[in-house]
Amino acid sequence: MISVEDAVIARLDSHGEHFEVLVDPEKALEVKKGVDVGIDDLVAFEEVFEDSEKGKRVSDEKLNKVFGTSDSTEIIYRIIRDGKVQLTTKQRKKMREDKRKEIASSISRRAVNPQTNKPHPPKRIKNAMDEAGIHVDEIRDVEEQVQEVLDKIKPILPISVEEIRIAVRVPAEYAGQASGKLRDIGKIEKEEWGNDGSWRAVLKMPAGLQDKFYKKANSVTKGNVETKILDD
């Protein structure tokens, strides 16, 4: 459970009733995005309130009437998903700065300076973001914002995102897990499953993610993986 001091209120109004739960702001936003978060990491109290400041709990009768159940855990997730999570100005500022750092690091990993063929350090990218007056959305995913940021800093920084295509073959023993993990790094151009249960695919990805791809591929398969960079 998180401390009350670090919690914010998630609110939902439904069927003429008002419901509140005390939640971790970042974990609650993950839940809204569909991420599986354990209840102990999510709330300060596993209780549903009419008024959390006064500690006034909602009766089981009212919960059953609105939600069709009095299971507080199930209801808490529904309140977070369907309701609004209140964030303080300080919390929004911190989350925005954290997201800015993530975006800068992501761009640094996948983009290069075409004049030197080396990546720009995250700090240089952050400076360009500041110069371009970029507003980072603390709620939206990093990947949703990377291309927008790239487009806006290109007039300020010489920057390009080179892409590569990698063919991969994974034996049957690791195929299921590998196909799920590796597709998160690159875009699957084609894939097929062999009669022996092996997985073959061609993935396209930013050149800066090549090392990450190899590390994950070797980790998932314990080194039992075949890869080849393809010519365009």
- Mean pLDDT of all residues belonging to the chain: 91
What pLDDT, on the 0 to 100 scale, is given for residue 29? 86
User: Are 61 and 116 in the same domain?
Assistant: no
Number of compact structural domains in the chain? 3
Note the pLDDT tens digit of each residue in 94-138. 889 999 999 999 898 888 888 987 889 999 999 999 999 999 998
Residue 72 reports pLDDT greater than 70: yes
Considering only CA atoms, which of 11, 15, 37, 17 is closest in space to residue 26? 37
Domain span including residue 149: 89-153
Instruction: Look at the pTM and tell me if it is higher than 0.75.
Output: no
What pLDDT, on the 0 to 100 scale, is given for residue 232? 64
∠ CA 19-22-25, nearest 5°, is 115
The 3 state secondary structure assigned to the chain is: CCCHHHCEEEEEEECCEEEEEEECHHHHHHHHCCCCCCHHHHECCCCCEEECCCCEECCHHHHHHHHCCCCHHHHHHHHHHHCEECCCHHHHHHHHHHHHHHHHHHHHHHCEECCCCECCCHHHHHHHHHHCCCCCCCCCCHHHHHHHHHHHHCCCCCCECCEEEEEEEECHHHHHHHHHHHCCCCEEEEEEECCCCCEEEEEEEEHHHHHHHHHHHHHHHCCCCEEEEECC
User: Are 41 and 61 in the same domain?
Assistant: yes
Residues pairing with 190 in the sheet: 202
Is residue 194 situated within a structural domain?
yes
Is residue 187 situated within a structural domain?
yes
Is residue 158 situated within a structural domain?
no
Is residue 98 situated within a structural domain?
yes
**C-alpha pair distances (Å), 82 with each of 12, 22, 30, 35, 38:** 7, 15, 13, 14, 18
Reported confidence tier of residue 173, pLDDT bands at 50, 70, 90 = very high
Residue 27 belongs to domain with CATH number: 3.30.1250.10
User: Are 23 and 39 in the same domain?
Assistant: yes
User: Are 71 and 97 in the same domain?
Assistant: no
Is residue 189 situated within a structural domain?
yes
Is residue 147 situated within a structural domain?
yes
Domain termination residue (choose one: 85, 102, 131): 85
User: Are 143 and 168 in the same domain?
Assistant: no
User: Are 109 and 79 in the same domain?
Assistant: no
What pLDDT, on the 0 to 100 scale, is given for residue 119? 84
What pLDDT, on the 0 to 100 scale, is given for residue 219? 93
Q: What percent of the chain has pLDDT over 70?
A: 100
Residue 210 belongs to domain with CATH number: 3.30.70.240
Residue 83 reports pLDDT greater than 80: yes
User: Are 95 and 80 in the same domain?
Assistant: no
Is residue 31 situated within a structural domain?
yes
**How far is Cα 101 from Cα 109, in angstroms, rounded to an integer?**
12
**How far is Cα 91 from Cα 139, in angstroms, rounded to an integer?**
12
Residue 187 reports pLDDT greater than 70: yes
What contacts 184, CB < 8 A, 6 or more positions away?
A: none
Domain termination residue (choose one: 85, 109, 144): 85
Note the pLDDT tens digit of each residue in 31-46. 988 889 999 999 999 9
| 118 compared with 201, residue with greater pLDDT | 201
Is residue 28 situated within a structural domain?
yes
Domain termination residue (choose one: 30, 58, 85): 85
User: Are 63 and 97 in the same domain?
Assistant: no
User: Are 95 and 27 in the same domain?
Assistant: no
